Structure formats: structure tokens, C-alpha cells
Amino acid sequence: MAAILILAIIGLPWLGAVCVWLVGDQRPRTQHYLAAGFSIAAGLAALVLLLFVSAETVIRIPAGNFFGDLTFVPDGLGAFLAAVATIVGCLAVIFSIDYMRGEEQLGRYYSFILFFIGAMAGLVLTSSLLFLFVFWEITALTSYALISFYNDDPKAVAGGIKALIITQVGGVGMLAGALAAYANTGSYEIGIFLEKAHTLPAATLSVIAFGFLIAAAAKSAQTPFHTWLPDAMEAPTPVSALIHAATMVNAGVYVLARFYPAFEDVPGWRTAVILVGSISALLAALMALVANDLKRVLAYSTISQLGYMVYAIGVGGVFASQFHLLSHSVFKALLFLAAGAVIHSVGTRDMRQMGGLGKDMPFTRSVFIIGGLALAGLPILNGFWSKELVLEAGLVDGPVWAFGLMVFVAGLTAFYTYRMTSMVFGGSSPAERHIHDAGQAMKASLGLLAIGTLTTWLLAGPFGQMLSTSLPAHQLHAVGTWVVVEEVVTAPATLLALGVIALGLAAWQWRKHLAGLGRLLGGFGQLATDGFGFESLNRGIVNATLKAADTIRPLQTGLLNWNVVGILGGLVVVLAWLAWSTGIGR
């Protein structure tokens, strides 16, 4: 049964991609509804799969001696992430019915989104390292194609290429790790790797561990690879909600969580993970404070919250990080889609030109506020519970300076969330303009996500149960939901965090009184707008590469005879090396 469900989860979106493309752009309505249908079917299949979670390999397709077997294991981590991917995916597709109404080339749009959903589900469900890499690369390809969807806009194309290059560089780390694991353990299976990890020589294991950390950091937009995510906001908003908030960027966190038992003893690895997570969280929160583009603020907040998840893994709280991943997927998708509704009707992404939208778009304002409260971490909403779990894990197992930093970032989060909400919905509206509230399909997705934001924390118990029974290597201890609630409510970290969040909210409310402080930090603000030097670092690397390419340009003469000289030269080198190493003698 689980095998059929897994094939449905991966195969239905891929089938849908082909069908939508074949239907053609002459029939957009058919395309809309076909895409929605396939994604809803995949979402239902994923939900049903949650009932069949187990730790055994349910599908095994041999792929030849060199590639190992293509295996799928529906364990708790994989099934849960597949459910998130497909459900948020189908909500984003439903949202697109209204958002992309009247746009051209819908076939390309929907097929890439469906292709992505299937690949993401495959990524989290597979237990072969090599095919994990294959699915990883497919998600990178579809992400690039969707970021550059408006391919006559040079900013979009540039954003897409930047995302592709940075995530591919990270992918090299993953491939190196996978091949090293294969060379040392003789198999691509993740389960076997986790068991035998302690028998590998320390140097090899370090290489694999840091290779995976680089790949995860690049994919999840952590420092120093975070520069691609803000520029990827040129994509259509449902794409941003799906790929760059709820699913693809979680792939990095997923990899870290999955391989945590193998790498936790590598010296320096946990510290490196904590550093990467906390620095990303801090830098991104600071950059969100000064950004004026609505989607950029949300992108920075995504980087920041991912930093929380990475930090949680670094201190050993795998359950806390995955729980925060669940909450974050839901409320961040909600925020992005609501922002999409706003952008769609106002026509601009600049927050300084918005304001006073609360009167014209009441539904959107309500769901945006719900998402914002969850992001800031206020009680009752799912963001609160998961963030407190993360902070608690940090207080108990991690270094104190990191904990202090994360609490400070929680305050910053509250500050910029309130700033964002009040700039968009509060205040008075400038000169008259025609604003309509979100359409029906948009409201449906937004409403469902808002309900999710209010309720997913109730799943803490069963979720923990699912994880602990199907991930034997991680040795998690599951507790029921109300135990979690009690734990969070009575922990000292909670009070501290709530206090700081209240401070953050108050700081925005009374910002005029703090104007003096604002002027003092003015120079710092300029630094934040420039991305703390990381953008200049990117530009420097690009320029150096171009200059190197220019210097070897004369080698490419374009004349066939010289190319043949090159080929034959290579042949001579290979033959000479072969003759020398095998020493064939008479």
C-alpha cells in the first residue's frame, strides 16, 4: 500500500506536468483545473501515506551496478515533509488559478511547478544517497526555471542564474559526500551509512559532514550562501511561497536532520552548524529591518527562521527543528500568499507605496496578521510553540552566547514583523487607487493556511511519535501534545523570549520616541542595506571568474585542426600514463 502511495505522490504530479504541457496554452482554464486536480490528488495521497509510516524499504528498483538501487522509505521525517510539500503545493496551485489568470505560457509554469512537487517528494522519501542527489538537482533546475519565469525581465533571469549557481556549488558538496560514503561503505543506502558512520576514518567522515553542511547551507540560504534568496523574489509569488519558503529551502534542513546521528560526533561540526544558523538568523533579521520590498522582507525572515532550524539541529534538538519546520512552512506560505494577493492588486512590491490597505482588503489583512503573529512567536499560534521548543533545546544543550543571540533575534523578528504589517495595512492610504480584495481561489488557500497556522501545534504529540518510531538511528523520545504544552509554558526560556518579543513590538510602536537611537544606528542601517558585504563578495567572485575566462579565451581558436591537436594530445597523455602504470612489456 505504501508503495502505491509513494508512486502516486511522485508520479501524479509528474504525470500532471506532462498533461498540462500537452494540453497547450490555447486552453488556460483546462490547464488551471488540471494542475489543481493533480496537485490535490498528490496531497491526498501524501496525507494517506502518513498512516503507513514505517522504517522499512517499500520500493526497491535496481538501477545497475554503478548506481545502486532506487529505494524509497516512508519514515516519519520523509512522509511528513512529503505531506508538507504536496499540501502547500496544492494550495499554491489553487492560489495560482487567480494569481496567474490571463498570464501567458501557463503550460511552462504549471508543468515546472508540478515537476517540482514530485521531485521534492522524491527527495525526502528516497533512501539512496545518489538518487537524493538526483532529486536535489531536479528541484534546483525547476527552481531556476520558475524564478526566471518572466524571462523577458533581466532581473528575473539574473536572479534565477544566481540561485542556480549558488545552489549547484553546494550540490557539489553533497555529491562529494555521497561518493565518499559509497567508496567507504560500499552502498548508497542511507540506513547503512548511518549505521556504519562510526567505522569510517575520521578524516573521511569530516569531509562528508562538512560537504553536506555546505550543500545544506547553500540550499537553505544560510550564511555565507544566503544572497540568492532575496534576488529569487522576482519569481511569481505562488512560486516564492512554495519553493522558497515552504519546501525547497527546507531540503537543506532535512538533510542535516536526516544525517545528524552520523555527524554529531565529528569534532567541530555541531559548533559550525550552530554558528551558521545563528549568524544567518541575526544577519537576515538585521537586513529585514531596513528592507522596503515586501517580498524581500519575507525572504529575509525565511533565512532567519531557517537559521533557527539549523541552530536547533546544531544543539541536538532534531524534533524541535522539524516541528519549527512544520510551523514555518504553514505560516510562511500564508504570509507569502497574502503578500501575493496584496501585490497583485496594488501592482507594486514597494511597501512605501502601500499603506491603509486594511480597509480595502479586510480578509487579507486578517490572515496576514495571523501569519505575522505566528512569525513573531506570540502564544497560541504554531510559531510560538515551535520557537519556544527551539529556544529551550538551545538553553539546555547549547552554548549560552548562541541562546542569547537567538532570543535577541526573536525580538528583532517581532520588530520587523510589526513594521511590515503596519507599513502595508496600517496608516492612511495615499491618493485614490482601485483596490480589490483577494479572489475566490486566493481566499480558499489563504483561509486553509490560516486555519493551519492556528492548529498545527496540536500535532506535536503524534508527530513526535511518528518520528521516534520510524527513525531508529536518531533515538528521539516522543511525548504527547499536552506534555509539550506544559513543558513550553513552564520553561524559563519562554518567559524570557516573550519579554524580548514584547520589547520588540513596543520598540516599533513607540519608534518616534526612539528616533535618537535610530539616528545613532543610521550607519549600521546602511551596512545592512548593502547586505553586510556579501553582495560585494559575490560581485568580486563573478568578476574574478570573468577575468580568468577572458585570459584563456585565445585558446579557443575555433579551428578544427587545433581542436584535433588538443584531442590527440589528451590521447597521448592517457596512453603514456597507461603504458607507464601497467608496464606492458614484451
Partner 1 sequence: MLDWLLVIAAVVCAYQVMRAQRLILATLWLASTSALVATLLYRLGAPEVAVMELSVGAGLVTVLFVFAFSIVGEVTLDPRGIVPRPLVWAMILAIILLMGWFILPLTNSQNPVVKVPFSTMLWDQRGLDVLAQIVLIFSGAIGLLGLLAEREIVVGRKPRPTVALTSGSSQPEVLDGRWQITANETSVEEN
Partner 2 sequence: MAAFLQNPLNVFALGVLGLLGMGIYGLLITRNMIKMVAVLQILVKSAVLALVLAGKAGGNINLGQSLAATVIVSDTIVAVIGLALGVQIQRRFGTADLKEIATLKG
Question: Could you tell me if 373 and 365 are in contact, meaning their C-beta atoms sit under 8 angstroms apart?
Answer: no
Total residues contacting partner 1 (rule CB under 8 A)?
15
- The residue type of 517 is L
* Residue 575 binds partner 2 (CB under 8 A): no
Q: Which of 404, 369, 252 is nearest to 313 (CA)?
A: 252
Residue 304, strand partner residues: none
Q: Which of 490, 492, 559, 581 binds partner 1 (CB under 8 A)?
A: 559
Q: Which helix (H) or strand (E) holds 60?
A: strand 59-62
Mapped onto helix, strand or coil, the DSSP state of residue 504 is helix
Q: Which is nearer to partner 1, 518 or 570 (CB)?
A: 570
Phi-psi region of 25 (alpha: psi -120 to 50; beta: other; left: phi over 0): alpha
* Residue 568 binds partner 2 (CB under 8 A): yes
* Residue 1 binds partner 1 (CB under 8 A): no
* Residue 571 binds partner 1 (CB under 8 A): yes
DSSP 407-466: HHHHHHHHHHHHHHHHHHHSS---S--------HHHHHHHHHHHHHHHHGGGGHHHHHHH
* Residue 26 binds partner 1 (CB under 8 A): no
User: Grid coordinates representing 554?
Assistant: 585565445
Stretch that binds partner 1, among 8-16, 506-514, 536-544, 567-575 (CB under 8 A): 567-575
Q: Which of 321, 109, 139, 83 is nearest to 236 (CA)?
A: 109
Q: Taking CB within 5 to 8 Å according to partner kind, which of partner 1, partner 2, none is near residue 558?
A: partner 2
Q: Which is nearer to partner 2, 455 or 557 (CB)?
A: 557
Q: Which of 65, 440, 551, 561 binds partner 1 (CB under 8 A)?
A: 561
Q: Which is nearer to partner 2, 61 or 568 (CB)?
A: 568
* Residue 563 binds partner 1 (CB under 8 A): no
Q: Which of 121, 116, 106 is nearest to 43 (CA)?
A: 121
Q: Which of 26, 440, 475, 561 binds partner 2 (CB under 8 A)?
A: 561
* Residue 564 binds partner 2 (CB under 8 A): yes
Q: Which is nearer to partner 1, 268 or 566 (CB)?
A: 566
Phi-psi region of 558 (alpha: psi -120 to 50; beta: other; left: phi over 0): left
- What's the rounded Cα separation, in Å, for the pair 392 and 326? 18
Stretch that binds partner 2, among 10-18, 182-190, 504-512, 564-572 (CB under 8 A): 564-572
Per residue in 333-344, is it b (16+ CB within 10 Å) or e — as a string?
A: bbbbbbbbbbbb
* Residue 584 binds partner 2 (CB under 8 A): no
- The residue type of 432 is E
* Residue 201 binds partner 2 (CB under 8 A): no
- What's the rounded Cα separation, in Å, for the pair 114 and 8? 13
* Residue 579 binds partner 1 (CB under 8 A): yes
User: Grid coordinates representing 194?
Assistant: 548511518
Q: Which of 551, 560, 582, 585 binds partner 2 (CB under 8 A)?
A: 560
Q: Taking CB within 5 to 8 Å according to partner kind, which of partner 2, partner 1, none is near residue 475?
A: none
* Residue 586 binds partner 1 (CB under 8 A): yes
Residue 60, strand partner residues: 71
* Residue 552 binds partner 1 (CB under 8 A): no
Stretch that binds partner 2, among 1-9, 18-26, 259-267, 555-563 (CB under 8 A): 555-563
- Per-residue binding letters, 150-189, with partner 1 (x by CB under 8 A): ----------------------------------------
- What's the rounded Cα separation, in Å, for the pair 568 and 586? 25
* Residue 572 binds partner 1 (CB under 8 A): yes
| Segments in 471-491 forming alpha helices (H) | 481-490
Give the torsion through C-alpha atoms of 477, 482, 487, 490, to 10 deg: -170
Interface residues for partner 2 in 514-553 (CB under 8 A)? 553
Q: Taking CB within 5 to 8 Å according to partner kind, which of partner 1, partner 2, none is near residue 579?
A: partner 1
Q: Which of 208, 199, 212 is nearest to 170 (CA)?
A: 212
Q: Which of 289, 326, 312 is nearest to 457 (CA)?
A: 326
Q: Taking CB within 5 to 8 Å according to partner kind, which of partner 2, partner 1, none is near residue 584?
A: partner 1
Question: Could you tell me if 122 and 42 are in contact, meaning their C-beta atoms sit under 8 angstroms apart?
Answer: no
Q: Taking CB within 5 to 8 Å according to partner kind, which of partner 2, partner 1, none is near residue 549?
A: none
* Residue 556 binds partner 2 (CB under 8 A): yes
DSSP 538-581: HHHHHHHHHHHHHHTGGG----HHHHHHHHHHHHHHHHHHHHHH
Stretch that binds partner 1, among 178-186, 188-196, 538-546, 577-585 (CB under 8 A): 577-585
Smallest gap from residue 29 Cβ to partner 1 (A): 22
Q: Which residues bind to partner 2, rule: CB under 8 A?
A: 553-554, 556-561, 564-565, 568
Q: Which residues bind to partner 1, rule: CB under 8 A?
A: 559, 561-562, 565, 568-569, 571-572, 575-576, 578-579, 584-586
